[in-house]
Amino acid sequence: MRAVVGPALGVALIVYFAFHLVHGDRGLVAWRDLTQKIEDTEAMARQVATERAAIERRVALLRPDSLDRDMLDERARNLLNLAHPDDLVIPRPSPGGR
């Protein structure tokens, strides 16, 4: 019986540590998942940086030192869908139909 208990205990310890090496909190599966999350987060950070740069370029056009009041007025009217009472409004056909 003693000849079986020692090797069985050794095999059990090896199986225990091998299982946790693969499936544990800091095992290979967790490392793979963490690596994937890092890659996803870096891709998202690149996308956000690109969007931020585009927004910063648009904001730079509205800075007081380079602001064109006519452009600002035109842009505001376009965004708010407003017109001055003296403006002549010519409707454009929709892109999809006539």
Predicted local confidence at residue 96, as pLDDT: 72
Burial class of residue 10, CB neighbours in 10 A (0-12, 13-18, 19+): exposed
Q: Quick one: which of 1, 31, 28, 4 has its CA closest to 17?
A: 28
Write out the DSSP string of 14-32. HHHHHHHHHHSTTSHHHHH
For CA atoms 38, 43, 49, 55, the dihedral sign is: negative
Question: Could you tell me the pTM of the whole model?
Answer: 0.54
pLDDT digits (tens, 9 = 90+) for 71-87: 788 788 888 888 888 88
* pLDDT at residue number 34: 95
Instruction: Name the band, by pLDDT with cuts 50, 70 and 90, for residue 97.
Output: low
Domain segments of the chain as ranges: 8-80
Encode pLDDT of 21-68 as tens digits.
Answer: 999 888 999 999 999 999 999 999 999 999 999 988 878 877 778 777
